[in-house]
Structure 1
Amino acid sequence: VKLEKESQMDEITMSLPPHVLVFPSPVQYPITTMFDLAELLCLSGLDITFLLIPYTKSLLFDHVNIESRLNPYPLIPPIQYSHLNPRPSIRLHTISDGLPSNHPQSNATYQLLESMETFTKPVFKDLLTSGRLVSDEVGQVSCIISDGYMSFVYDVTKEIHVPVISALSSSPSSLWLLSNLPNPTDDGSNADSIIRRVPSMNGILTSEDLASMCQSCDWTDPTIKHLRKQIRELSRAHGLILNTFKALDGPILSQVRSICPNLYPIGPIHTHLAVRQEAELLIPLLNYSPEENKNCITWLDSQQPKSILYVNIENKVQLEWVQTRELWHGLVNSGKRFLWVRQTESITKEGRVPPKILKGTKERGYIVESASNVQVLAHKAIGGFLTRGQWDSIIQGFVEGVPTICCPSSLDQHVNSKFVSKSWKIALDEEWRWERNIIEKMIRDVMGSKRELIDNANKMKNSGRKSVKKDMDQKTLPPHVLIFPLPLQGPVNSMFKLAELLCLSGLHVTFLVTDHIHTRLLKYSNIQSRFDAYPGFRLETISDGLPDDHPRSGDRLMEMFDSLKVKTKILFKELLTSARLNSDSRRPVTCIIADGIMGYTCDVANDVGLPIIYVRTISACCLWVFFCLPKLIESGELPFAVDDDLDKPIKSIPGMEGFFRRRDLPIESRFLWVIRPDSITSDPTEIPLELSKGTEERGYIVGWAPQEEVLAHRAVGGFLTHSGWNSTLESVIEGVPMICWPYFLDQQVNSRFVGEVWKLGLDMKDTCDRVIVKKTVRELMEDRKDEFRKSADEMAKFAKQCLMEGGSSYGNLERLVKDIKAITRT
């Protein structure tokens, strides 16, 4: 009974959704974005623990009706769930930041992060290892998503072996700029020189666009040192989530991959969430904000379309009374109607408000303590947006097509404001001063005088929504696998079979071949008709870097390998980062399957942030021999002299001690015989008369044959082969005994296994004598025919059983497809 209960518990545990812990930065706006991200992940079937410090928990509850926000998730159709497949959920959990409750945390972000580095770090480790986050319905934390500026998380998770994905709510452009700050030891650095050497930003930014703490070039400033450290540490993360999309930040994203190759640009996150909620929850979006937000929405409902300027200046930077006064005058004097989120704590030294201003506000304005940016900016009455330039606010504004005025203050706001005004041309920032006349003019410009801003804002709105829709559409598409075989006939043929299997399993496949191989395929096969049945299959070509007249023969393989490693590697990366492989009907490449002998493909895959699976088309036994070569050298069994005893057993290869000899090692032989005319090194017409006559009586010579069909024919009773692994397997599956005449690489090892281990034929290694060939053929086809046929039939039976449902190969293919789907970036 105990064992049965344990088995049931194991079954339930295995069926639990993955458990992700989301740990945001202790700042209001990253928290709201991270909460949107948590909801997105929950809608994708993941269990979420949302970890907060007490201060950020109070912020979240002040600005979000958290209970209402979480209510939709029990409405996920329950038919999908059971006790063996529980419903995913979001839970809140708190952790101490180490600061006293009366500490002014709203204006001490750096001190707060410092305290968390010292105090919260051990508490966080204890939380993860204590079991407090685990229950019958929630499994162990399997992944952590933390703010990218809290690097202490990496230290903790390294000790407990849990992967970390970082998330940043700041813009990719500000991240890239900060990553290019010079070392403190650099001499002669100034703000202008920094800007000039930042790739993709020269000509857009000026020294004034650096945050004030960077303009002085004081690299010993604690905040700068903290930022530099956090950006360096990003490379430790498994990936990086960014609140942007390719159409907006494509050039910058390609640069940011040098910091963290595996990027997840899934924005705009708030729009992405709204689209997912409508599509998957099948309920209308709820009003999640506090009562005051409902009142301002009611006020907006009574206003004319595009008539309201929305003013929301983030509360992390307090305004002096003189700034508040000038802004207020500018709002009222502009004659435009406005909604102003004016948080009391963001204003210091408030003075007397002139009656004229109060009267103008009563006539044309509405002031509230808090409001939902997302809901307000989406309202039809909003025609402009005045913001500090925080990235979350910027992206929320342009998704709704709202022209913007930026009044940047700190950190990434300067960079963001420059990009939205100069690069995307949807905002004003270059004229901003805390002077009522300038503010008045900018409000009038953004609310209608500058039509260009409105037109560009609408274009960005369409671009953002199109990106989310395309992403949503592509989520329903199968994973897209790129297969890149070694450009030789055998590996290409083998990988073609794998491509067909994956297509049959519902995956999209791009099969990448060199131009030379493509020409041969068109010449010797009807490749297109072979794959017409697979709409998810596509053939692509790439140069191998060799001249057209290069023979690409076996004796010059190293020239091809060198060219692939030097020239094709560059082209391969360009192909993966270009739009050439993309279309509306298929995802971008989500996984690479490449021949394991082409190690450079792994370098490229890591550079572009794609998972890679290696395929070796040689036999497992030969791969094991290659793997053991260092051990042979270490033991003194290699090298040996040419005139040494070649039949001496090799003792340092585990599992092969009893039968493997020196002559079976994968070294080059002295003779090559291939039927294809282009592979014969002498004149094929120089054939003795008696051979021609004998061939006419008993033989048939062709330039090419469909090997699988020939081996499957009932007339075939034996197969003389070089013992390439594909040919060996094709012979095994058809139960055809073999004569092995190996030439190079794995063929020596394969031939030994065929003859000595599996007893499927004869090993004719090192022989090019007509008498031996005659004797071997007679032995296979006559003298020992029944013996070899019996062994071949038994092995064929075992091979076919492996391919049936329940067989090992059948199950492993299912596991491969499952893994490809699991590692597909979503």
Structure 2
Amino acid sequence: MENQILPKRPYVVIAPFPFQGHISPMLQLATALHSRGFSIIIAHTIFNSPTPSNHPDFTFLPIPDNLPDHPDTSIEKRLDLVKTINTNCQEPLRESLAQFITQGDGNDRVACIIYDTIMYCSEAVAHHFKIPCINFRTVPASVALLYDSLPMLAAQGHIPYPNSKLEDLVPGFPALRFKDISTSDLGSFKDVLEDRIFTNASSKYSANIWNTVDHLEQTELTLFQKRYPLPFFSVGPLHMIAPSSSTSLREADSTCISWLDKQAPHSVIYVSVGSLAVLEKKVIHEMAWGLANSKQPFLWVIRTDLASESECNLLPDEFIQSVGERGCIVKWAPQSEVLAHSAVGGFWSHCGWNSTLESLSQGVPMICQPCNGDQYINARYLSHVWKLGLHFENALEKEPIKQAILRLMVDQEGKELRQNAIRMKENIRVSVSKGGSSYESMNALAELILSY
């Protein structure tokens, strides 16, 4: 019998927005699809470009973005940056993809573009080439549902809202208060409502991909599906579906792992507020003394750009002397490896969605200190719906910080949260295993792409 040449599987274009929390899950999705036989094109901006050598099997397509070398990524300028990148990148993305297609051997079929919700210029490019596009959600369904409801809440007169309503529950969202849905750090409600990233009305994508777990968000996923009856695929947590890929834009300091090896099981509080949050120096000092006074071992990520002030020494000398070997401070940590370590018993986090999934996947309960945007919603769900964390809403001062750490790491309340987190870990493990909901959803996504 003659050897048969199997048809080449098509290319899938992955278009992430250039923030760490957006790039990581999309590269993980690309790895998962590549493992199912697809060829992968990463269409990326020059700003925050991923490292091609970490993914030698992918084709990288640099997109000129016409940004300054160090664009302003502060929360106040974030919507402006999203608009600028989409405006600047649409035509270069179209031209680069056209060049790739014309230079191919005729068998390089592009099946679809999978794009980050806020890299929406990809939609117009997909329509130009008459290929399907799929929307990838980097936020949980609970957040997407709330953002999609903002125009309705505005029409009903619920927003903007006076300060007297901050503690009131949001109609239709029994877990959320109005203070949890504030967008003031992004601009006025008028600005937000007019922004493309907060509405689905004008979108023409053919399916939704969610980096979430059915078990965690079944109600929210069902409600979103009713509003937008398109195929949807909950394939998370993607860091567990594609665990071997390196996606960090920063170099992690792995020496902290040997320090963790010397600590007692579940004794360490891991502290990291993500890749973008900026804190005042006085807040960092209060955090430092709260950690020191708790007497708990801690691993603390202090980025070089964490403080709003440009100073080399963010921590007082007496703090370093006070904690000695009980503390380990790094500029960036291999977070998945840290959270998987048996010594880690709690995670003081900004509640970005990737960090939340990584923590829950390892059964680590959280102290929730949201910094901006959707993190407030994540923190509220973690603490009041899923019962997997403590929502820190006090002033960031050393005594409340100390008490929050002890509540999580020592008190009975923390032990109960840890048991809840361990049960969630097992549910997630089942979801990503063969026959589980996320595993089967990824297979269904592959079948959809092959059908294009």
Question: What SS class does the counterpart of residue 325 from structure 2 fall into?
Answer: helix
Post-superposition offset of 1:147: 0.3
Equivalent residue for 2:99, pick from 115, 120, 130: 130
Q: Percent identity?
A: 27
Pair 1:32–1:453, CA change in 2 (3 A): same
User: Shift of residue 467 of structure 1?
Assistant: 1.0
Q: Residues 555-704 of structure 1: matches in 2 within 5 Å?
A: none
| Pick aligned residue for 2:335 from 364, 373, 387 | 373
* Aligned with 2:58 (options 90, 93, 100): 90
1:727-785: CA deviations, max 9, x gaps?
xxxxxxxxxxxxxxxxxxxxxxxxxxxxxxxxxxxxxxxxxxxxxxxxxxxxxxxxxxx
Cα shift at 1:212: 4.2
Matched ranges for 1:805-820 at <5 A: none
1:355 corresponds, among 299, 317, 329, to 317
Match of 2:416 in 1: 452
Residue 472 of structure 1 and its aligned partner are, at CA, apart by 5.6
Partner deviation per Cα, 1:159-210 (whole Å, 9 max, x = no partner): 2101101111111101101111135665463555995432xx22x1111211
State the superposition RMSD in angstroms: 3.3
1:310 maps to 270
Equivalent pair of 2:17/2:119 in contact (CA under 8 Å) = yes
Separation in 2, partners of 1:291, 1:28: 12
Q: Does residue 101 of structure 2 align to residue 139 of structure 1?
A: no
> Which string of whole-angstrom CA distances, capped at 9 and with x for unpartnered residues, describes residues 48-69 of structure 1?
0112212221xx44xxxx63x4
- Kept in 2, the 8 Å contact 1:133–1:141? The answer is no
| Partners of 2:315 and 2:348 in 1: CA distance | 21
Contact preservation (8 Å) 2:111, 2:449: no
| Letter paired with 2:236 | G
Q: What does residue 396 of structure 1 align with?
A: 358
- Residue number in structure 1 paired with 2:384: 422
2:30 aligned partner: 38
User: Is the partner of 1:50 in helix, strand or coil?
Assistant: strand
Change (3 A) 1:588 1:140: closer
**Where does 1:415-814 land on structure 2 (aligned, <5 Å)?**
415-449=377-411, 450=413, 451-471=415-435
Give the Cα separation in 2 of the matches to 1:446 and 1:113.
Answer: 37
Higher relative CO (Cα under 8 Å, sequence separation at least 6) belongs to 2
2: CA distance, partners of 1:164 / 1:321: 44
Cα deviation for residue 382 of structure 1 reads 0.9
Residue number in structure 2 paired with 1:345 = 305
The answer on whether the counterparts of 2:366 and 2:390 sit within 8 Å (CA) in structure 1 is yes
Deviation (angstroms), 1:381:
1.3
Q: Distance in 2 between matches of 1:301 and 1:456?
A: 25
C-alpha displacement of 1:822 = 5.1
Distance 2:247 2:100 in 1: 35
Q: Aligned letter for 1:403?
A: P
CA 1:49 to 1:334, structure 2 compared with 1: closer, same or farther past 3 Å?
same
Higher helix share: 1
What is the CA-CA distance between 1:415 and the residue it aligns to? Answer: 0.5
The more displaced of 134-143 and 43-52 is 134-143
Give yes or no for the alignment of 1:246 onto 2:214: yes
Q: Against the structure 1 CA distance between its residues 118 and 821, is the aligned structure 2 distance closer, same or farther, given a 3 Å change threshold?
A: closer
Corresponding residue for residue 103 of structure 1: 71
Contact 2:270–2:298 (Cα < 8 Å) also in 1:
yes
Q: Return the offset for 1:70.
A: 2.9
Distance in structure 1 (CA, Å) of the matches to 2:371 and 2:119: 22
Q: Distance in 2 between matches of 1:347 and 1:254?
A: 41
Instruction: Determine which structure has more spread, i.e. the larger CA radius of gyration.
Output: 1
Query: Residue in 1 aligned with 2:179?
Result: 208
The residue number in structure 2 matching 1:21 is 13
Counterpart of 1:344 in structure 2: which amino acid? T
Q: 1:290 to 1:430 in 2, by over 3 A?
A: closer
- Which digits, 9 at most, give the CA deviation of each residue in 1:640-677, with x for residues without a partner? xxxxxxxxxxxxxxxxxxxxxxxxxxxxxxxxxxxxxx
The structure-2 alpha-carbon separation of the partners of 1:171 and 1:360, relative to structure 1 and needing over 3 Å to count, comes to farther
Between the aligned partners of 1:242 and 1:310, the Cα distance in structure 2 is: 27
In structure 2, do the counterparts of structure 1 residues 215 and 134 end up closer, same or farther at CA, with 3 Å as the change threshold?
A: closer
Could you tell me how far apart the structure 1 residues matched to 2:223 and 2:185 are? Answer: 21
Unaligned 5+ segments in structure 1 are 1-10, 72-88, 278-284, 477-586, 591-609, 611-818
2-structure distance, mates of 1:27, 1:363: 34
Query: 1:27 and 1:425, CA in 2 relative to 1: closer, same or farther beyond 3 A?
Result: same
**Conserved? CA contact 1:147–1:168, under 8 Å:** yes
Indicate which of 99, 119, 129 corresponds to 1:150: 119
Distance in structure 1 (CA, Å) of the matches to 2:439 and 2:170: 40
Corresponding residue of 2:231: 262
Q: Do the aligned partners of residues 300 and 233 (structure 1) sit closer, same or farther apart at CA in structure 2, a change above 3 Å counting?
A: farther
- Tell me the CA shift for residue 103 of structure 1: 2.9
For 2:231, the aligned partner's letter is: N
Residues 369, 393 of structure 2: 8 Å contact kept: no
User: 8 Å contact 2:61–2:96 — kept in the other structure?
Assistant: no
Contact 1:55-1:105 within 8 A present in 2 as well: no
Shift of 1:377: 0.7
Shift of 1:112: 2.3
Q: Compute the TM-score of the two structures, normalised by the length of structure 1.
A: 0.49
CA contact (8 A) 2:112 2:126 kept: no
Query: Aligned equivalents of 2:304 and 2:205: distance in 1?
Result: 38
What per-residue deviation string (whole Å, max 9, x for no partner) do you get for residues 137-175 of structure 1? Answer: 971322111001222221221121011011111111011
SS of the residue 2:21 aligns to = helix
Instruction: Tell me by how many angstroms 1:322 deviates.
Output: 1.3
For residues 155 and 414 of structure 1, what CA distance do their matches in structure 2 show? 32
**Contact residue 367 and residue 392 of structure 2 kept, 8 A:** no
Aligned residues: 437
Report the secondary structure of 1:131's partner residue. Answer: helix
